[in-house]
Structure 1
């Protein structure tokens, strides 16, 4: 009996092969989920950010000119404001189109205010009090995205910023710009040979421009505005306050000239050095431990004032050139641009120093009467760009803003938002009910108890070791793991391990030499990490390709540093997104690739190039990988949010974003500029018995995009890989989903649609090809000879043969050609015949 069943099965197999004629090899299933429900929830970070101000008088009233940050990428322009300081009220506001913020303002002698902005291109604007308008003067330096400093001789305006390292002048008389070129190119005798891309500070004084450069080893330069001639004011070595960093001074963050002294604030050693402009030499006196946006204030009663890193304000005596060791007052914030004014009808005296605060209010310091105060903020808030989002263990989503001062807790179930005080958070990660937040600058780490109703982050430490940006935070076995980027002009990131039990930090810098850490995943006592070749701003990478590494936590040992076997022929600046999947594999991204690794060997088990056009992506911000509850993986290589089936690696693009997360219901949330989006995934439903509308083509029409036509008829948002077609009939040809009319006649198209992981055969689509309607004036054709009538049709006009053609796209997916299918078919036939004959010989009784 068993013999008969076996032979019967072989016979059926042979019969089925002979009957089908073609072996159809189908591609694997694609992701068939609808992500079209994409809604903007809000612009959640609404705050006032005022970076700078200048001060003047309009109509006898003391006024401040300041700009509130917006978002040019989200079409929300920065707002220029005129504020009445005497009466604490807003007088005027003007939009600065295509500008996100303004780090610098300057007033010329005619009362005009010039505004240097940040945006896709740095622009110069002019406010005229007499004309009561703001004018866009355009782009002074192609290649600059930010202007950090403006100065004036009273008529001409000078400026510079990032990233050309050049300075410009603007002449309002002829409305012309002049480009002086890059100032610090590293070639001047005595220079360090390193080019600097920042003009961070500038002042005009007695016929010369003094410009401060950076970021690596900035210097003060004296420039002749008429000739463009430049000289570096080389600094003395061996001053103890500079802590031996004369070759690593960072930026000249601010320059101010008071009397005959130039005060230069270097943010490397955090010192203010003093240059005697009359004697043309640096003093040995140095002001140490300075913080803030400026080094020293303008003169008030023979002193200049500064904010110290010890959270106090101090003063420096201009007559004795000595520092008063006693604090003037407590001042735990940054000092910004200052002026000395006489407030009208005020409790403050005539020599009141004013300085703008970050939230649009103004500090008032009456040193004569030992009085200080803070005005109310009268400018309006603006939406700010979102810097980071993350879901915590309580299911809420926490949001931080760029240059932030507030954070938001968003409840996905109720849609309610709660604001709280928070700086610029680069990365977040959870351990139990605690959310850990990494703040820029200086890599400060905060802990937030998510069980509390009102969010209140508490600072638990600072990483140190020259680290600046904590972009990656994860956890495991009761510990928190943090990957960081170093500070300005530094290479070499760090892995930091925080133990909440004993509140200890352990930082290991340069696990991979000269590379930053942007990917971390923990499993079974080991940290699996990945890197970026980038360091801080102002320094080029020394390495060519990012790396993978494995670190043993208990034994404090690097077990492995390894290249990634992906994108071997591409530049590879970053590997990130490391996460363990439900399949036990370690998943990650690099350029436009997604890959999975064996955790023991770090060998690539799976990989797919989702976006071939992305071949050199990454600097600081990692890509992310999140797994939902249904087996889909979400990732954003090259800031392209994408759903991936981890079995087939089929994928679907969703949106462009560098930041996203998932809630507990598998809804997607992402940020784009100031806006917070929600995408609700929906499994596509389709009636496979649907009847399709026939297609009619004229020979004159020639072509139709079959994919577009199919998508229109089924009414679903699908990708091209979600469907393939089989065509029967010689009247049409199908190539790359373009259906072409070949000859009069009919054809049938069979669509195969991916539904729930399998391709389903749908009803046929009838296609009719007709001859194009003839123009009545067209001459009749001459009768054809018998040879001309050899068209491949029989006497009745029917087809003498029927051709079955598989879509070329389908064959490309499977990797098989028609010849391959024929060979496989013949192989199966021969094997079946061989088995049949062998069994016949063995079982002669049958």
Structure 2
């Protein structure tokens, strides 16, 4: 008996070219050509198969907004809406502050993220809203959350506050509207845009007579008169005229305390006199507390001092000796009913699900961790190929960090402290990533251990109002970075960062009012693609995305043009070996000749889609000669000679990276997937044979599958047809001439096996042939692994 074994390397090499009919969406050719190029020919069979790699950042507890209240017995509670992802909605959870136990938890029917939560003293109910627009309520003791509806379809809820009479007010994005909800009647009232032109009603503070509203993308303060329905704007001090957002507010006696960004200064406004009476520079964290039981002090955090007490009589402040390593998200004065915590204790929540408490009499503290709260995997924002062969995964608002997937071992490592990553770049052995917010660039030497603050070290920062470093390309000793500006701003930038010196030179508005979202380098020049969009919260003024050529030495733009009329973002730029630039814009693939500086071909190969910055669109040339593209929520293979396209994977595909073996990685929501070219594709069976089958079996066309079958008689595969036999037996010869593919996996054949001229791949694995085995003229060559043959072996099978 002859036993045929293939080396693992040889098996993988042959498997890379194996192709069968697989369950992917129908192959597509150009549905709407925009050039006179010849029509696309039929695509070649698919190679490889999709492989799920699970959730690279498996779980997080992140509640962007929190609130606190009490149950009917007066027991203090903390309320969380922990973030979900595209597959898993957010979750409402309640912690008993005395015991530390989670006393209620419910996965919401809809909505992923929440920045809006308030406890109404009037009716003892917590109200919370989702950025997707849903409003919910829950009263301690209820068995379930109550869905109150979607007040304004298309508008997300970004802040809530309950007035003393129980009316709940909410602020929205992108309309920047103020609305109210009456729990007694269930009625919503739209009070209009709080400040003309401001898209976020970002923070609210309601009292008996009115509602204070702070906005974004420009920091504006206005007051809504509940009796007249009129808004009256209050001018901030002159030095804050260009600030971006009024983020948090607290009413304390006659004073309104408001925190503004980016300075994080705390402004103290006397609502009686209409004057700003004090400014506390650079506080840290979200919220300021309500006054203590004496009515004299409020509390907030300053990073260098910890928690400070602010005296409302003297407008001075001093640290209290309590410095939790957390940003305040909500404050409450709570009765903990414990001898170490007499009277009322100051309780602070933190958006990672943690609770901190401090008693002003005993100076005792308490900490409650997030272990009992349920989180959800982080949504993936971007993928990168590391110089160490690993695939790096960035995630949305990622408290756990970023993930490193090692293709060699199949293991995932969490790299803590990375933050939200917008894009990856490399130089030498270094991985560089751009972090949101504030456009930080961090440099990780992949040959050394990960250690935040040391490797990567402190971030270099792109200035000039940039926020999201998305695109990277190495040019000489420099790293070019394309970025998106801050909220409410137009005009991204092309920056050149020198890793040796840390110097960042920024050229803003290389294409006026557009963001730089893709980059490629060739012969010392930079080729960039733009998005018409600026930061969130501002409408674009440009109507078409552009392709530009820039000199990195000067930042001068040498050439600009619109490669795809009507396109809103140009992304996924890459060069082929011949020096042709390929790009994609809103479903249209195009090529560009750097010598003539002209688009040479453009065809809408994919369904038209538009996103803010084109995160979902990437291009990659693989050594099999095909171009691979993520666009319109799918992974596509494109034959660059014919432009024939095949959809390999669909249903929300985004981003793209490759490992050293050429396998492709992409994301769906929080999950990571790999298109593994060494996997045998799973067939779509037109005919399935199981159990005993007497007599000859002919495969005339399509795909016939033997699944646990016992065939007595010959099996004949006609030209173009596919046979897939698994865990089966055949008593008779198996012959295939010109087949579309042949798979024998776990099969015993009593008789000769002959496979000649297959054009779709031959795979013989864990199979016994009692008789001769002959293979010839198959392209690609057969893949054999663990095959026992009693007769002679000839042709390609003998050479394997």
Q: TM-score, normalised by structure 1?
A: 0.71
Q: Write the mapping of 1:388-787 to structure 2, written as runs, cut at 5 A.
A: 388-406=382-400, 407-421=402-416, 422-452=418-448, 456=452, 457-553=456-552, 555-564=553-562, 566-568=563-565, 571-611=566-606, 613-614=608-609, 618-619=612-613, 621=615, 623-654=617-648, 655=650, 656-681=652-677, 692=700
CA shift digits 1:525-557 (9 cap, x unpaired): 22222222211122222323222222323x324
Task: Quickly say closer, same or farther: Cα 1:715–1:234, change in 2 above 3 A.
Answer: farther
Greater fraction of residues in helix:
1
- 2:38 and 2:246 map into 1 onto residues whose CA distance is 64
CA contact (8 A) 1:31 1:645 kept: yes
CA contact (8 A) 1:104 1:116 kept: yes
CA contact (8 A) 1:183 1:230 kept: no
Answer yes or no: is 1:84 the counterpart of 2:101.
Answer: no
- 2:439 and 2:310 map into 1 onto residues whose CA distance is 31
- 2:608 and 2:431 map into 1 onto residues whose CA distance is 36
- 2:253 and 2:62 map into 1 onto residues whose CA distance is 32
Deviation, 1:160, is: 2.0
Deviation, 1:685, is: 12
Deviation, 1:480, is: 1.8
Corresponding residue number in structure 1 for 2:167? 156
Secondary structure of the residue aligned to 1:646 is coil
Q: Write the mapping of 1:285-364 to structure 2, written as runs, cut at 5 A.
A: 285-294=278-287, 298-299=291-292, 302-308=296-302, 313-324=307-318, 333-345=326-338, 347-348=340-341, 350-364=343-357
Secondary structure of the residue aligned to 1:50 is coil
Task: Quickly say closer, same or farther: Cα 1:114–1:343, change in 2 above 3 A.
Answer: closer
1:55 to 68, 73, 86: 68
- 2:459 and 2:149 map into 1 onto residues whose CA distance is 46
Task: Quickly say closer, same or farther: Cα 1:584–1:343, change in 2 above 3 A.
Answer: same
Deviation, 1:368, is: 5.1
Corresponding residue number in structure 2 for 1:136? 147
Uncovered stretches (5+) of structure 1, i.e. residues with no partner: 1-24, 187-194, 695-709, 717-752, 758-846
CA contact (8 A) 1:64 1:82 kept: yes
Task: Quickly say closer, same or farther: Cα 1:77–1:559, change in 2 above 3 A.
Answer: closer
- 2:244 and 2:312 map into 1 onto residues whose CA distance is 26
Corresponding residue number in structure 1 for 2:81? 67
CA contact (8 A) 1:424 1:440 kept: yes
- 2:573 and 2:293 map into 1 onto residues whose CA distance is 55
- 1:67 and 1:312 map into 2 onto residues whose CA distance is 26
- 1:388 and 1:617 map into 2 onto residues whose CA distance is 14
Secondary structure of the residue aligned to 2:458 is strand
Answer yes or no: is 1:259 the counterpart of 2:257.
Answer: no
Q: Which has the higher contact order (CA 8 A, sep 6+)?
A: 2
Task: Quickly say closer, same or farther: Cα 1:361–1:617, change in 2 above 3 A.
Answer: closer
Deviation, 1:199, is: 1.4
CA contact (8 A) 2:209 2:225 kept: no
CA contact (8 A) 2:94 2:103 kept: yes
- 1:426 and 1:337 map into 2 onto residues whose CA distance is 29
Secondary structure of the residue aligned to 1:459 is coil
CA shift digits 1:500-537 (9 cap, x unpaired): 22232222222222221111112332222222221112
- 1:331 and 1:602 map into 2 onto residues whose CA distance is 58
- 1:672 and 1:198 map into 2 onto residues whose CA distance is 28
CA contact (8 A) 1:149 1:199 kept: no
Corresponding residue number in structure 2 for 1:93? 105
- 1:684 and 1:267 map into 2 onto residues whose CA distance is 52
Larger Rg: 1
Corresponding residue number in structure 1 for 2:13? none
CA contact (8 A) 1:577 1:622 kept: no
CA contact (8 A) 2:358 2:364 kept: yes
CA shift digits 1:598-650 (9 cap, x unpaired): 22332123332213644x55436372111212111112234432211122221
Secondary structure of the residue aligned to 1:51 is coil
RMSD: 3.2
Corresponding residue number in structure 2 for 1:180? 191
Corresponding residue number in structure 2 for 1:386? 380
Range that drifts further, 446-455 or 328-337: 328-337
CA contact (8 A) 2:68 2:330 kept: no
Uncovered stretches (5+) of structure 2, i.e. residues with no partner: 1-36, 684-697, 703-717, 725-756, 762-800
Secondary structure of the residue aligned to 1:502 is coil
Deviation, 1:138, is: 1.2
CA contact (8 A) 2:65 2:329 kept: yes
- 2:403 and 2:164 map into 1 onto residues whose CA distance is 45
CA shift digits 1:295-353 (9 cap, x unpaired): 566547622233347685444320012455x7966666532111122323364554432
Task: Quickly say closer, same or farther: Cα 1:484–1:307, change in 2 above 3 A.
Answer: farther
1:198 to 193, 197, 200: 200
CA contact (8 A) 1:216 1:539 kept: no
- 2:203 and 2:758 map into 1 onto residues whose CA distance is 60
CA contact (8 A) 1:315 1:328 kept: no
Corresponding residue number in structure 1 for 2:232? 232
- 2:299 and 2:392 map into 1 onto residues whose CA distance is 38
CA contact (8 A) 1:52 1:67 kept: yes
Task: Quickly say closer, same or farther: Cα 1:647–1:181, change in 2 above 3 A.
Answer: same
CA contact (8 A) 1:591 1:618 kept: no
Task: Quickly say closer, same or farther: Cα 1:312–1:606, change in 2 above 3 A.
Answer: farther
- 1:65 and 1:712 map into 2 onto residues whose CA distance is 62
Give aligned pairs, total.
652
CA shift digits 1:143-198 (9 cap, x unpaired): 213332232334222212212222222222222222223332x2xxxxxxxx1121
- 2:469 and 2:160 map into 1 onto residues whose CA distance is 28
CA contact (8 A) 1:39 1:679 kept: yes
Secondary structure of the residue aligned to 2:53 is strand
- 1:502 and 1:516 map into 2 onto residues whose CA distance is 26
CA contact (8 A) 1:116 1:147 kept: no
Secondary structure of the residue aligned to 1:381 is coil
